Structure 1
Amino acid sequence: MVGIREMTESDADAVAGVRVDGWRSAYAGIVPRTWLDRMTVAEDALRQRTRLAEPGRAATDLVATDPDGAVVGWTCFGPVGAAGAPGPDWAELYTLYVRPDLIGHGVGRALLDEAHTRAGAAGFAGMLLWVLADNHRARRFYDRAGYAPDGAVQNDTYDDVVLDELRYRRTLAR
């Protein structure tokens, strides 16, 4: 059984491990290996701590824990960033990562469901997210969770390789 709780500063190392392992697993064959190989848990943990300490931060970070309390997943959501939204009351799912060996065991769905519940309770009407076009596993996951591409596309560059991201969205119960 998975527990879901708010992330604390003491979770930074574990979240960084989940994120780096998640990137290396999910984006293998999509993002250049050189980019993935440069990622380190130590640098990412520092970035997590810095982000969590930002004054006035509007994002919500949630972690999934196993029965022993170990962090096995992480998600973060908040107000829509610079990409725009269908309306002023939309949230953005900034990130969702699960320990690679637990993908398909309900951890990601539990995190996503809790993010939807909390965003809806906070008054958000819907949620957007961006997913790499070539990340077919993630796209299937979001399709099953009620998301659909809305036609918006942006791109990111990793070591001179340009990759398309598709915007997905879904409405939330309030």
Structure 2
Amino acid sequence: MNHAVRDLDPTEVAQAAEIWHTGWHLAHSAHVPAELSALRTLDSFHQRIVAFGDAVRTAGPLGAPLGLCVTVADELYQIFVSQAAMGTGLAQKLLTDGESRIAAAGHAEAFLHCIPENSRARRFYTRADWRDCGNVIAQLETLNGHFPLEVTKYCKRVTAPA
């Protein structure tokens, strides 16, 4: 798959929300409280993508995004790829782009949160040289306010591209 990482086009918000919604539920629903899963509606992902604006990056043909990566300050906030793009290297491209954006914003270290039960993601982050910095209670954003959840914090030193 040879798709360059790019800004999400405003016409692709619904498709990106679907990728995020599907991916989130596949990876998380069986491991988080039912109250949190109930808050993770397709509409909630759509609204959050709109709110993130330029912080959302994707890859894939215009009109057919295959994944997304959101950065917020020094946090790699979200990264998801469509089921069709799993195993293609696209997640690594999005991750590298997110790391570069965090470094370009002046941060020397990035962090992300991952639920402890998401072994696929944990292996992916470890292979990409992220280190387990222990479990923390994250205040997850929902449309109804913050939801506390124990997550594993991963950290990585990042450098801006030359």
| TM-score, length of structure 1 as denominator length | 0.75
Counterpart check, 1:145 vs 2:140:
no
Task: Report the counterpart of residue 8 of structure 1 in structure 2.
Answer: 9
Unaligned runs of 5+ in 2: 141-147
Q: Which string of whole-angstrom CA distances, capped at 9 and with x for unpartnered residues, describes residues 70-113 of structure 1? A: 1110011121xxxxxxxxxxx11111111123222111101011
The DSSP-based 3-state class of the residue aligned with 2:66 is strand
Structure 1 counterpart of 2:71, from 74, 77, 80? 77
Letter in structure 2 aligned against 1:172: V
Task: Report the counterpart of residue 171 of structure 1 in structure 2.
Answer: 157
Checking the alignment, whether the CA contact within 8 Å between 1:23 and 1:36 is kept in structure 2 is: no
Task: Measure how far apart 1:41 and its partner are.
Answer: 2.5
Distance 1:44 1:163, change over 3 A: closer
Supply the distance in 1 between the matched residues of 2:97 and 2:138 (Cα, whole angstroms).
28
The DSSP-based 3-state class of the residue aligned with 1:94 is strand
**Which structure features the higher share of helix residues?**
2
Which has the greater radius of gyration? 1
Checking the alignment, whether the CA contact within 8 Å between 2:49 and 2:56 is kept in structure 1 is: no
Supply the distance in 1 between the matched residues of 2:47 and 2:159 (Cα, whole angstroms).
35
| TM-score, length of structure 2 as denominator length | 0.80
Checking the alignment, whether the CA contact within 8 Å between 2:76 and 2:99 is kept in structure 1 is: no
Task: Report the counterpart of residue 107 of structure 2 in structure 1.
Answer: 124
Aligned residue runs from structure 1 range 25-40, under 5 A: 25-32=26-33, 35-36=36-37, 39-40=40-41
Letter in structure 1 aligned against 2:47: L
How large is the RMSD of aligned CA atoms in angstroms?
2.7
Supply the distance in 1 between the matched residues of 2:87 and 2:40 (Cα, whole angstroms).
24
Supply the distance in 1 between the matched residues of 2:21 and 2:50 (Cα, whole angstroms).
15
The DSSP-based 3-state class of the residue aligned with 1:62 is strand
The DSSP-based 3-state class of the residue aligned with 1:71 is coil
Letter in structure 1 aligned against 2:150: D
Checking the alignment, whether the CA contact within 8 Å between 2:12 and 2:65 is kept in structure 1 is: yes
Unaligned runs of 5+ in 1: 53-58, 80-90
Letter in structure 1 aligned against 2:120: R
Task: Report the counterpart of residue 110 of structure 1 in structure 2.
Answer: 93
